Amino acid sequence: MLDNASLATLVASVPAAVHIDLLFTTEQASGSSGCNHYSAPFQAIGGSISFGSFASTAMACEQPVMKVEAAYLRALQGSTAYDATHSVLHLTGGPVDLRFTAAAPVSASVSPSQ
């Protein structure tokens, strides 16, 4: 999840309900950009990162949310470097730095078999 300090650098006023996250699979980055869901191919090697063309759903939200989303996607697309630990991903090189913290794992409840 994008941390509050990063959100505050994107726009002057961040709506309270905005949720932005970033997930990686082997070759794809995806997540929620505030209003819509996005995905893009990426390549990360030795601290450098680049993203291919972004695809996104096309829902419309209130203007303040759309401003945050546009600023976030510009920053993400412009990112050229990363630093990662087990719980933090820091992307730099774009218009603003982006810092993500890992979400707590969701524990699956398993019912005993009868």
Measured CA to CA, the distance from residue 9 to residue 27 in angstroms comes to 28
Q: How many CB atoms lie within 10 A of CB 43?
A: 10
Residue with the larger pLDDT of the pair 12 and 52: 52
**Which are the contacts of 111, defined by CB distance < 8 A and separation ≥ 6?**
none
Judge whether residue 93 has pLDDT over 50.
yes
Measured CA to CA, the distance from residue 52 to residue 42 in angstroms comes to 6
Judge whether residue 113 has pLDDT over 90.
no
Residue 114 has a pLDDT of 43
Residue 52 has a pLDDT of 96
> For all residues of the chain together, what is the average pLDDT?
87
The string of DSSP letters for 53-80 reads --EE------HHHHHHHHHHHHHHHH--
Judge whether residue 71 has pLDDT over 80.
yes
Residue 56 has a pLDDT of 95
Radius of gyration for the alpha carbons in the chain, expressed in angstroms and rounded: 15
Contact yes or no for 54/39 (Cβ under 8 A): yes
- pTM value is 0.84
